[in-house]
């Protein structure tokens, strides 16, 4: 009987402490920095157009494309492909992606394709591609938007992020959403 009381009271009081008070308090503190606490939203003309770190599917030839996504960048139900490296279906899928890239970028050589452009990320929402991944797309965008290749290369270069503190982690990655926003701006300024 005594242990029942202990289990019930200890159980419910910890539920209140760690299941209610702790997360509520953290959300409360979050209110002080709403921009961050809301996941770094990006608004344009008062409309929510995305989050800094949440990738978006870009399929038009006007934009830099993101990586392939196993869930089509569906941010309400995320996930990866979970395909193994030797799975024939997976390899066929990759071959298809290579073919698509080559089709839309006729001058592109297969050996210049960076690996992230033909593989899906784990969460399906990867906001980044490598600088190389962006550069191979420049010719297509320049053609479609009537922009200078040089200016676009410059744009990619500007958006290329360096490692953490310049020392740790992968270098030369580009946030596709931010790059495309800047691309729109560049295009708007030119016209």
Residues 8-27 interacting with other proteins (rule: CB under 8 A):
8-11, 13-15, 17-20, 22-23, 26-27
Determine, following the binding rule CB under 8 A, whether residue 121 of this chain makes contact with other proteins: yes
Q: Which is nearer to other proteins, 67 or 150 (CB)?
A: 67
* Residue 104 CB-density burial (10 A; 0-12 exposed, 13-18 middle, 19+ buried): middle
Q: Which two tokens stand for residue 66?
A: 């993101």
Q: For residues 29 and 34, give the distance between their C-alpha atoms in angstroms, rounded to a whole number.
A: 9
Within 132-151, the residues that bind other proteins by CB under 8 A are none
Determine, following the binding rule CB under 8 A, whether residue 154 of this chain makes contact with other proteins: no
Within 71-100, the residues that bind other proteins by CB under 8 A are 73-88, 90-91, 94-95, 98
Determine, following the binding rule CB under 8 A, whether residue 186 of this chain makes contact with other proteins: no
37 contacts 27 by C-beta, under 8 angstroms: yes
40 contacts 50 by C-beta, under 8 angstroms: no
Determine, following the binding rule CB under 8 A, whether residue 127 of this chain makes contact with other proteins: yes
């Amino acid at each position: 009987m005594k242990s029942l009381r202990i289990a019930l009271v200890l159980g419910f009081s910890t539920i209140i402490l760690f299941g209610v008070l702790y997360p509520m308090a953290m959300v409360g503190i979050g209110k002080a920095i709403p921009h961050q606490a809301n996941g770094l939203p990006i608004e344009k003309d008062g409309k929510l157009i995305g989050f800094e770190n949440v990738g978006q599917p870009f399929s038009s030839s006007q934009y830099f494309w993101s990586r392939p996504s196993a869930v089509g960048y569906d941010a309400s139900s995320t996930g990866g492909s979970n395909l193994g490296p030797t799975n024939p279906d997976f390899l066929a899928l990759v071959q298809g992606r290579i073919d698509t890239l080559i089709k839309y970028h006729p001058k592109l050589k297969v050996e210049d394709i960076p690996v992230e452009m033909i593989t899906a990320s784990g969460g399906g929402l990867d906001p980044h591609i490598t600088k190389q991944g962006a550069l191979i797309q420049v010719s297509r965008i320049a053609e479609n938007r009537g922009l200078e290749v040089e200016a676009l290369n410059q744009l990619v270069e500007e958006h290329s992020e360096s490692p953490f503190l310049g020392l740790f982690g992968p270098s030369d990655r580009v946030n596709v959403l931010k790059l495309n926003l800047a691309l729109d701006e560049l295009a708007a300024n030119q016209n």
